[in-house]
Structure 1
Amino acid sequence: MTAQRRDLKGWHHGIVLIVVVAMAGLPVAGGAATTERVVSDRYTGLAIRGFDPVAYFTEGQPTLGQLDFELSDEGVVWRFCNEGNRLSFAAHPEVYGPQFGGYDPVDVARGVAFAGNPQIWLISEKRLYLFGRAETRDAFAAAPATVLNDARKRWVQLQQQLAR
């Protein structure tokens, strides 16, 4: 083996090591960080993968927000479809933002912070809830009062464990 090939081979192993180390730090749950008080992408800072939280109420479906209509709140970036939605959220983030910071309320009720999926959602009592799995959404829909009672009790403690 020539010296040049030996050097190249060592460089190749270094790249593999870098890739393995980088992959070890990747977030779980579909690219969402699970150590934040509001589910957001650790690389972009986008909350709920860039979906407009107000559109769930106005459009009745998940709708991606636009770069032109952004708002930074609690260290995350929210995107909206239009200026009206951005203004509505700015005035009432507690109403339009996903409850429990976007974590699955069924898992929160169990004391676990599992990031919700913006495409698995439900509005209950005029509040938005995101779920990690369709099964947990269905369980929530069957007994929302019970789940919410347990989730609210556990959420305070769970928030303390999540990064600020």
Structure 2
Amino acid sequence: MTAQRQQQNHGGHWPLFRRGIALFTLLAGLIAQDLAGHAAITERIVTDRFSGLAIGGFDPVAYFVDSKAVMGLEDFEAWQGGVVWRFHNEGNRASFLAHPEIYGPQFGGYDPVDVARGVTVAGNPRLWMIAGERLFLFSREASREAFAANPERYVQRANARWQTLQQELSR
């Protein structure tokens, strides 16, 4: 096909179409890169992949004040540590924002028994324990039972491996 016929068939818009595709590809790449960077930050805290909420939307402060797992409410959200957290009331939200290192689950909500072994397995917000005035989430009942028998041992081992595991999660 001659250049003249190509121009007639595409109304002279073919070069514009190609530039549009190139622009779209560039923008899609930038957005994907931004999302990948965001995912790297949030992977350090167990986040529900469907809702984007930390620890599945459970209120981390409620474990301490209500001694049970309580779902947070959309009206009481906060952005902290690269993720959205939900709380049952404004008081819990304020307490968490003042002291996230106390109320947030240890090891980002990953099972401390698995972290002590050098692997990251997301904890289940319904399988939890307060030990040493800190919140721990477990992936399975057997982990919670093992941890309860000797929390100091698991915390010490998990602390020794956590920094390396965090770096691996952020890749």
TM-score grouping bracket, smaller chain normalisation: 0.7 to 0.9
- Structure 1's unaligned 5+ residue stretches are 1-32
Larger Rg: 2
Partners of 2:144 and 2:49 lie apart in 1 by 25
Partners of 1:83 and 1:47 lie apart in 2 by 17
- Structure 2's unaligned 5+ residue stretches are 1-39
Partners of 1:79 and 1:53 lie apart in 2 by 8
Partners of 1:41 and 1:133 lie apart in 2 by 17
RMSD: 1.4
Q: What's 1:152 paired with?
A: 159
1:161 partner amino acid? E
Q: Measure how far apart 1:75 and its partner are.
A: 1.5
1:45 partner amino acid? G
Partners of 2:128 and 2:138 lie apart in 1 by 6
Q: Measure how far apart 1:42 and its partner are.
A: 2.5
1:64 partner amino acid? M
Superposed CA offset, 1:70-101 (max 9, x none): 00112111000000000000000000000000
- 2:87 aligned with 1:80, yes or no? yes
Partners of 1:62 and 1:157 lie apart in 2 by 29
- 2:109 aligned with 1:96, yes or no? no
2:139 partner amino acid? G
4+ residue runs over 4 A deviation: none
Partners of 2:126 and 2:50 lie apart in 1 by 20
Q: What's 2:66 paired with?
A: 59
Structure number with higher helix proportion: 2
Partners of 2:165 and 2:102 lie apart in 1 by 21
TM-score normalised according to structure 2 size? 0.74
